[in-house]
Amino acid sequence: MFKTVGLLEIVVVLVIVLLVFGVGRIAKLGGELGKGIRAFKDGLSGEDQDIPGPEQYTDPEED
């Protein structure tokens, strides 16, 4: 039934998506997708700076 997807079909689908969602919303979705992919890659590599290590915690009883 579907042998290949040509360039014309891809362009038509992209134009329909652009008309439905609009430029601003597509840009916002692209930015969120990029942040999600970056967070996923950082999580896989174990280089997450947001979570402090045990040496960064302070003991409230020491004060």
Give residue 27's Cα distance to chain centre. 12
pLDDT at res. 9: 93
Per the CB < 8 A criterion, the answer to whether 46 and 54 are in contact is: no
Q: Where are the domains of the chain?
A: 19-44
pLDDT at res. 44: 84
Q: Tell me the average confidence (pLDDT) per consecutive run of 10 residues in the chain, 63 residues long.
A: 83 92 88 92 72 61 61
pLDDT at res. 51: 60
Position 4, amino acid? T
pTM as predicted: 0.48
pLDDT at res. 11: 94
